[in-house]
Amino acid sequence: MAKANTARFSEFLIEMGDDASPQAFSAPCGALSRGFKRTAAMAETNVPDCDDPDAASWLERDVTSKSATCDFSGVVDKDDFQDWDDFWELEESRDIKITLGSIIWQGQFKLSDLEVTGEKGNRITFTATIQSDGPVVRTSP
């Protein structure tokens, strides 16, 4: 049996660009959970069997659009949370770089959700969701 070559949490990064030239990327501190999801919307066409009109037909699908979403959750870092709040206030896209080992994707994203919650006796936590604003392109293998 061959053992899977797994990746550590630190090898999965979602970083925000700083809009400088050259651009530098950094991941705000505090995220304990990160997710990257790509979605393809599809149109379906029901295609009949011409030789047997009573047979069940098969659906054929065509990709009509693509999008990507990143989700975060974690503890509020008092020094870095300002980055999230600035992103919310900006209402503009930011360049985001997603790294998984040697694979890198990059594109423009907008912050769609930002929630801060607190409960007596616990640390303040947050959740955030960013959504692609145009293509997200794989820039490495």
Residue located via tokens 């693509």 = 66
Q: Break the chain into its structural domains and give their ranges.
A: 9-38+67-138
30: number of Cβ within 10 Å: 20
> What pTM was computed for the model?
0.88
Average pLDDT over residues 31-38: 96
End-to-end Cα distance, the chain = 27
* CATH no. of 9-38+67-138: 2.40.30
Give the type of residue at 87.
Answer: F
130 and 112 Cβ atoms separated by less than 8 Å: yes
Task: Say whether pLDDT at 46 is over 80.
Answer: yes
72: number of Cβ within 10 Å: 21
pLDDT in tens, 85-109: 999 998 899 999 999 999 999 999 9
Dist. CA 94–CA 88, nearest whole Å = 11
99 and 139 Cβ atoms separated by less than 8 Å: no
Dist. CA 52–CA 50, nearest whole Å = 6
